[in-house]
Amino acid sequence: MIAQVDYLSQRLLDAAPEQLKGIRNALIRSGRRLHKALGRAGRRPAGRGAALRAAVAPGRLRRRGRTLAEGRALRHPLTCWLRSKRTPSHYTIFLDLLRPVRGELLVGLAAVFRDRERSESDRTWATTVLSAYAGDRPEVLTDLLMDAGNKPFAVLFSGVLSHRDRALPLLNDTVSTPLESKKTDDEKEALAKRQANAAVALLRLGQSDRVWPLLRHSPDPRVRSYLIHGLGPLGAEPGPLVERLEQERTYRSGGR
């Protein structure tokens, strides 16, 4: 049994992605023996992406109530997955196999998503995986939405829309935070961008009353400027804006 676990553990680290599910299932009852075997296998030469493949095993074992030291196996899986993402079939396989350890991967994915130095393809990939892995975590999706560019905003908004009631308080809290509460100019700049995204999301969720105050002139025009420039690219419908403008004109003209 031990020899079989050792062999399959080594195969797990260098197998083709299409073979991983079968090997993982064969090892699922090996428990702590597998953890020790992975440690021994990890000290031998392994194929490219060994850390990514090793991460497949602990997640499935955890679902069966096992407790394993997973830090070593999860240290570099995102880097390996990033390198292999250009093979669509492999992406689908790993998306499924790594779902049990998605909680550990969300932080790294969010870092790729927010890293402006990354290529557009890397950040698009991170957005796609985040939308799949955080689909039932509206707090995570909403927080990411407020830092999203035009294309990622569209992808993430569909998830936020599905959890409208849980997303609204988070969006409202953001637009209600005074810029003056931030100490540095960089912090104010970051908040202004998040408020503009939150305002567009609120507008698209039918909460236009929370948006109009942000369009008023103020000593610090950053939020208003980002919002005006983001309305179209982030998918805001012109109807509520036109309707509100007509209401303002009617009010100012005394109802005439």
For the stretch 73-103, pLDDT in tens is 444 567 667 766 666 778 888 888 888 878 8
Are the CB atoms for 182 and 191 separated by under 8 Å? yes
Lowest mean pLDDT among 6-15, 70-79, 94-103, 216-225: 70-79
The string of pLDDT tens digits covering residues 161-179 is: 999 999 999 999 999 999 9
Q: Does residue 180 carry a pLDDT above 70?
A: yes
42, with CB counted inside 10 A (0-12, 13-18, 19+), is: middle
Task: Calculate ∠ Cα 133-136-141, nearest 5°.
Answer: 70
pTM value is: 0.79
SS3 of the chain: helix, strand, coil, percent, to 5: 70, 0, 30
Lowest mean pLDDT among 17-26, 38-47, 86-95: 38-47
Q: What pLDDT score was predicted for residue 86?
A: 60
- Confidence tier at 2 by pLDDT (50, 70, 90): low
Q: Does residue 67 carry a pLDDT above 50?
A: no
Residue that the structure tokens 């400027």 belong to: 225
C-alpha to C-alpha distance for 69 and 107, rounded to whole angstroms: 19
Residue that the structure tokens 């074992």 belong to: 61
Q: What pLDDT score was predicted for residue 62?
A: 39
Non-local (6+) Cβ contacts of 159 within 8 A are: 131, 134, 135, 138, 141
